[in-house]
Chains A and B, each alone.
Chain A
Amino acid sequence: MSAIEVRNISKAFRGHRAVDGVSFTVEPGTVTGFLGPNGAGKTTTLRCLLGLVRPDRGEGLFGGRPYASLPAPASEVGAVLEANNLHPGRSGRNHLRTLCDAEGLPLSRADEVLDEVGIAEAGGKRVAGYSMGMRQRLSLAGALLGDPRVLILDEPANGLDPRGIDWLRRFLDYQAHERGVAVLVSSHVLAEVEQTVDNVVIIARGRLVHQGTLSELTGGGESLHEAFLRLTDQENSEQPVGGSR
């Protein structure tokens, strides 16, 4: 059974089809890049998968169960949708502690994950004083609290400097290939993911256009960049708007 299974998800907002029958799977021990142009429906797909948005059709499953039916969701799935889902007036450590409370974890986990993402010294500072990169790391720390077997990260490299991106690559590599975590990471910046991902899922205009291994896609001498442009630019129909929120 796949760690993540997206099964035929469709979602329309005010008549506009943001996601249209998208299906794919993610296996344990792999990093899957979820790629597509801005507004292709990546974020909406992830929100449907995680139960924040109710899909019109289809469902998302984790080991065969919908997110809302998982007995302890945060200890099975760690997800970061936006690095700005943080209260600016609360310290990083207190943010994590509110999550420890809700997840029934000891408060000491907060300091452990702060250390794991490399911002232990900023734990006592209010989030208002954090850089975008520190917010990304704090959000990631929140996803790690329950020591999950699945990680879902939406545009995790946004706001990271080159050193941060390098750190993120090594982090994802470690999680998937050393610890056996199933990692799904969305991105619209191909250079970020090319060195990290094992598999790619590409969507455009709300529809799946490709799922397979990275080596399959680039095996014929085509770069990921060229393949991406070819796959996502087949039709000249109007680019959907408003699908990324």
Chain B
Amino acid sequence: MSVTSVPALQHTDRGPLSRDEMAQALARDIPRGAYVNLGIGQPTTVADHLPPESGVIFHTENGMLGMGPAATGDAIDPDLINAGKLPVTELPGASYFHHADSFAMMRGGHLDLCVLGAYQVSAAGDLANWHTGDPEAIPAVGGAMDLAVGAKQVFVLMSLFTKSGESKLVEACTYPITALHCVDRVYTDVATFDLTTGEAVGVRETWGISFDELSARLDVPLTWAGS
């Protein structure tokens, strides 16, 4: 399929997606009724676009299914927090369980999908999101490795370029790896990528940049997803 035949997927009449629009774009692709874990930080904002009527059930690594929105005011309960250690609420039908069970749900392949941030993602789906590799940095992994290997699908939500303009979608990760061959899709401000298409990285949609411009800026071969 030639680039010009898919103008609907190539939004060059506007700028890149805002952070909120990125979360919205990802949320649209989450199947109704899925069991979903949202990572700390920007991935958490995906929940803003998945109301209870979406049927999506949120898992939090610290031992809960059926997590509701952030708690405010009188609803704040110090015994009820999310993975980012912020107060949350429980929805009808929620359940609590201990940490070994919580991670068995991930590792055992029971969780449909997780959304994670990333420093880098490779064309082969390797994920780097836990350590910058800086010898001065204090390493901290949390649940990232377990989520990445365990969830049936891994969606990454990140800006495509660093502040200095380097692509975070790379041929091979230079940051320490979180897990190999685990990322299925990458949702960024300028494009959505499908890493399950084979040799080349599939582009599903672009914003504020054409497919050809995008190809010129990345070191990985691209193709239109589904072409």
A and B: bona fide binding partners: no
